[in-house]
Structure 1
């Protein structure tokens, strides 16, 4: 009888120890399954995406690897980086026609609002062709998309910037939703290149006359 009580005590102690170990393992599994596995961009307490983290619906169209990826673009100066991004081929062609490749690549610190190919398609073809053929007009438009320093997402909230064109450009918004100029929306923002922060936008910005 006494022997049976000892065996029962040992079994009870073993069960308690096993239960404690199982609970500990569950806690670890919960921690591993938490936000660390989320694909959403990290944000600061204010809701603004963290430094260097791209945001926006069009970011999913950026290649996952290679020169055109976020990692690939981060190592090249901005004009070279843009040439690797399939969404920006029309912009890159315009930059080359305007002779601005060396200016953009050679600058130390810039912010570039980069219209997508679809943004250029919003412009009537005859108007776009005329601008593309006029280097002075094209240069004026393109430099209106560039600021001579890096601007973080937080800086776009109530922005009023002097562009390389010389004209002022306003921005507004919060979190991961920003408008530049009158109606251009940031569709993939905070893209880092070696010398610039890029905000891909859905409309071409036109400088004031």
Structure 2
């Protein structure tokens, strides 16, 4: 085998690898929290797409209801928001926080009960607006917080190590996601107003 050709191939491969690493280091990106307290945090953040409309960068460009529609894990929430007629309300609000239940959170509700709620606009609106706070709420605010919701009730938050709870029942599985008008904390349980 020609050693000059082999050296050239190895050199070209190393140069391409170095260029890819250099470009990767320069490229802006959002990822799960690396411990410095900035950016999204939580175990489910790893499943967020790295690029496109449903990525952290993509969601940061859109208002909250539109951003949620681009996240497959929130499709049941998006359906509920549409049925309640809250898309424009959420997209036009400023500096809100949404505690967004996943599809799995909705799946914990017996299907018959969920179907009944989805068919009752007043009850659905009450439940959904209980998940929205009219102020920014970030990771630093979650360790021992109480926040008034758009529904009129109060949500409480607490922390134990790196686990953050809402009302003592829902766990934040991916928090501090930015959209153009909101902070989103994805939770594993639907919250019910009193």
Global fold match (TM > 0.5): yes
CA distance in 1, matches of 2:130, 2:64: 16
TM-score (norm. length: structure 2): 0.82
Larger Rg: 1
Q: Scaled by the length of structure 1, what TM-score is found?
A: 0.76
**Any stretches of 5+ residues in structure 1 without a counterpart?**
1-35
Give 1:175 deviation, angstroms.
Answer: 5.3
Q: Which secondary structure state, in structure 2, belongs to the residue aligned with residue 63 of structure 1?
A: coil
Contact 2:32/2:46 (CA < 8 Å) preserved in 1? no
For 2:161 and 2:33, the matched residues in 1 are separated by 11
Q: Distance in 2 between matches of 1:179 and 1:132?
A: 25
**How far apart are the structure 1 equivalents of 2:95 and 2:143?**
20
The match for 2:173 is 187
**Cα pair distance change 1:86/1:175, threshold 3 Å:** same
**Mapped pair 1:176 → 2:162:** yes
Alignment of 1:99 onto 2:85: yes
Equivalent of 2:112, from 126, 133, 144? 126
Partner of 2:33: 41
Which moved further from structure 2: 115-124 or 173-182? 173-182
Contact kept, 8 Å, 2:95 with 2:135, in 1: the verdict is yes
Gaps of 5+ in 2: 1-24, 26-30
Deviations 1:122-150 (A, max 9, x none): 00001000000000000000000000011
Q: Report SS of the residue matched to 1:81.
A: helix
Number of positions where the alignment pairs a residue of Structure 1 with one of Structure 2: 165
Over aligned residue pairs, what C-alpha RMSD do you find? 1.4
Question: Which residue in 2 is equivalent to 1:116?
Answer: 102
In 1: Cα distance, 2:160 partner to 2:139 partner: 8
Partner of 1:56: 42
Cα distance in 2, alignment partners of residues 40 and 58 from structure 1: 9
Deviation (angstroms), 1:70: 0.4
Runs of 4+ in structure 1 displaced over 6 angstroms?
none
Shift of 1:40: 6.5
